[in-house]
Amino acid sequence: MQKPSVRLSPQRHTRPATQQRVHVTGKAGPAVAWGLTMLVLALTGRVQTVIAAPSPQNDPDGDLVVNTADVDDDNDGIPDLHEIAMDGSDQDSDGDGMPDRLDLDSDNDGIPDWLESGATKTLSLATLRVTGARLSGEVGVNGLLDVFEWPVDTGNMAYALANTDVNEDALPDFLDLDSDNDGWPDIREIGVLPAYDSDGDARVDAPPGTVGNDGIADFLQRVNDLSCCDLNGDGADDLIPINTDSGDLPDFQDLDSDNDGLNDIVELGGSDADNDGHVDNFIDVAGGPDGTDDGLLAFPYTPRDLNGNAVYDHVEFVPTSNPDPVPSDDAAGEDPVGMQPQPDGETVTPPLDDELPGTEPEGVVRTGLGAAGCSIASKGFDPFLFLSIIISAIMLIRRFKPGRGQANEKRTN
């Protein structure tokens, strides 16, 4: 679908009622302002950004920008320009009936597109929130979240799309079924049950009509379109993606997932004559290109477990005489884009609640039970916040109780 050109203006969206700032003046001054502000926080649960109720017809991402003016219809941080065909028509890479520009997992490998896009390494996403696999945050008139573009409302991407195996194929990771080209598909490297890929095409089974409004298989979501994702069938959402060595890259982009100095392809039982960590004599024609080797898709590796401890060798650290990790083949000569980098080599911790990976902004102090009390991002009930509101109400009533002013005036006279 070709989108008409839209003339952009510097106007920003007016915040919904639950996002308006509270300004109070008068005799009560700070006391009234503080009390009302706490009341707003208690009732709304947040004041920063809220996803509006999505309209599948013209605003599926709920950012109040209709699709004809929205350059990122699904709010995955990837502009639609990269999710449509060269002629401007829609494309459906995974055949689930949802066009890529509306699909939050365009290749159905079980990894949300925003985690494969490459943004998490070069950008700070701490100001965003994720609901299911959809992002929300500050957005202007063009519908692209401000953090992903610079300057805002220009559509100029602030990061480069990741293509981890750039020397092997031209597919960005969010469309590539084997992002690192090690012969082990992404769907297996993030722990999706093999039963969820019954036809062995390296995609989660999701025929048209089974992916809701977000392009993710309904059976992977505890709450359809609002949670993501239970990949192993245990009834709980899983941490996506897996990073076995807690190092520079998650497994689906890492040629040596356990950092033991042996390429994954070798530990999987494959051939790596040139020792580059990639599939030798790579051929991707059938059903694609989709980023997987045609031969290995038809006859996949059988993972090895030489010591019989129920842990596959390619994700079990066993020191070797060559401890150096396999170098990246990223075009820029740096590590392929992956998880958000942490200072001093620290690893990414699992997201709490539905917060994105990233650090707290400077100056933010969490209080209350579980350090979640007065945080604006908190959505749970906090007795300390409720008690503060009650005390504020009592103070206001005592301050303006009838007759109190006359009594004070008589004492003064």
pLDDT in tens, 327-337: 444 433 344 33
For position 13, what pLDDT does the model report? 44
**Is 331 a member of any domain?**
yes
In a domain, 119, yes or no: yes
In this structure, which long-range contacts are made by residues 205-213, counting pairs with CB atoms below 8 Å and at least 24 apart in sequence? 206/94, 206/96, 206/108, 207/95, 207/96, 207/97, 208/95, 208/96, 208/97, 209/97, 210/96, 211/96, 211/97, 211/98, 211/103, 213/54, 213/56, 213/60, 213/102
Q: For residues 47 and 75, state if they share a domain.
A: no
Output the pLDDT for position 45.
41
Q: What is the pLDDT of residue 226?
A: 95
> Could you tell me if 100 and 32 lie in one domain?
no
pLDDT given for residue 395 in this prediction? 73
Helix (H) or strand (E) holding 121: helix 119-122
CA 53 to chain centre: 19
Task: Please tell me the total count of domains within the chain.
Answer: 2
229 and 111 in a common domain: yes
Residue 401's pLDDT is what? 59
Residues 255 and 393 in one domain: no
Q: What are phi and psi of 43, to 5 degrees?
A: -80, -40
Which segments in the chain show pLDDT lower than 50?
1-52, 323-379, 405, 407-413
Task: Judge if 26 and 86 occupy the same domain.
Answer: no
> In this structure, is residue 141 part of a structural domain?
yes
357 in a domain, yes or no? Answer: no
Residues 305 and 169 in one domain: yes
| Domain co-membership, 22 together with 11 | no
* Residue 283 lies inside a defined structural domain of this protein: yes
The answer to whether residue 355 sits within a structural domain is no
Give tens-digit pLDDT for 2-41.
Answer: 444 433 334 444 333 333 333 333 344 444 444 444 444 4
- Residue type (1 letter), 29: G
Residues 198 and 82 in one domain: yes
Q: Does residue 363 form part of some domain?
A: no
Q: How far apart are CA 52 and CA 129, in angstroms?
A: 13
DSSP 8-class letter at 59: B
Residues 42, 59 share a domain: no
CA distance readout (Å), 408 to 26, 393, 399: 19, 21, 11
The pLDDT value recorded for residue 402 is 58
Positive/negative CA dihedral, 332, 173, 90, 75: negative
Q: Which residues pair with 55 in a beta bridge?
A: 59
**Is 161:82 a contact under the CB 8 Å cutoff?**
yes
pLDDT at 392: 72
Q: Any bridge partners for residue 135, and if so which?
A: 130
pLDDT confidence of residue 393 = 74
Would you give the end-to-end CA distance of the chain in angstroms? 80
Q: What is the CA radius of gyration of the chain?
A: 26
Q: Which of 69, 75, 109, 51 is nearest to 214 (CA)?
A: 75
| pLDDT for position 81 | 96
Residues 202 and 76 in one domain: yes
Looking at residue 133, what is its pLDDT? Answer: 96
pLDDT at position 403 is 56
Is the same domain home to 251 and 397?
A: no
Give kind and range of the element (H or E) at residue 129.
strand 129-131
- 79 lies in the same domain as 45: no
For residue 66, tell me if it sits in a domain. Answer: yes
Residue ranges making up the domain that contains 400: 17-51+369-413
